[in-house]
Structure 1
């Protein structure tokens, strides 16, 4: 149910906007990588404007994702360390519990 709401409220309007943007920006635009010789055919690429916009969006998403992944590395490392520590403590508790089964149980303080 929640997925359907997300699709209807977010993805559907986003798709309509992207389609309208694509239709409105069909004219060819040149991207020149060489600033000193803009007419250089080896370093000039021509494509519709919406292609360049979508490529910029995709590159931004990828770079943002990589930056987030890199910045959260310390948290992932800490989580791995704490997971190993918790597992070691569980093993020690099981071992201590197995050793204490032979001793009489103390009354509980309930």
Structure 2
């Protein structure tokens, strides 16, 4: 089912990208010098769809980094919780192995007076 949904979403996106690339294959000049755009030393001529795809890819990468940095505190808390859970599991296991089984009854023996009260038997 997951594979079907991925295909259902990715195929139309691929078709749109292919149509965009075919429709925008005209070369454009991209000048990297904002002060003298007529200077050809820092000018690149590429198809327009390269510029569009590069801008899209750069946006995805920068957005991914922004999300990754903003979620840092949650990852830190998750690491801390995992360490604490491992420590508590280890503590429980140590407690289980060092705990000796009870050898006698847990309740007081019959006929004894409980905690300083006089025996009425």
Asked if these proteins are the same fold (TM beyond 0.5), I'd say yes
Question: Superposed, which structure 2 residues align to 1:7-22 within 5 Å?
Answer: 7=7, 9-22=8-21
Query: Where do 4+ consecutive residues of structure 1 move more than 2 Å?
Result: none
User: How far is the alpha carbon of 1:4 from its aligned partner?
Assistant: 2.4
Q: Distance in 1 between matches of 2:41 and 2:71?
A: 40
Q: Which runs of 5+ in 1 are unaligned?
A: none
SS at match of 2:33: coil
Distance in 1 of aligned mates of 2:23 and 2:4: 29
Q: Which has the higher contact order (CA 8 A, sep 6+)?
A: 1
- How far residue 35 of structure 1 moved from its aligned partner, in angstroms, is 1.7
Q: Deviations over 1:5-24 (max 9, x none)?
A: 321x2111111111100110
In 1, Cα distance between equivalents of 2:62 and 2:46 = 23
3-state SS, counterpart of residue 91 of structure 1? helix
Within 5 Å, give how 1:9-88 maps onto structure 2. Answer: 9-88=8-87
| TM-score, L = length of structure 2 | 0.80
Q: TM-score of the superposition, structure 1-length normalised?
A: 0.88
Number of corresponding residues? 105
Shift of 1:40: 1.4
Task: Pick the structure with greater CA Rg.
Answer: 2
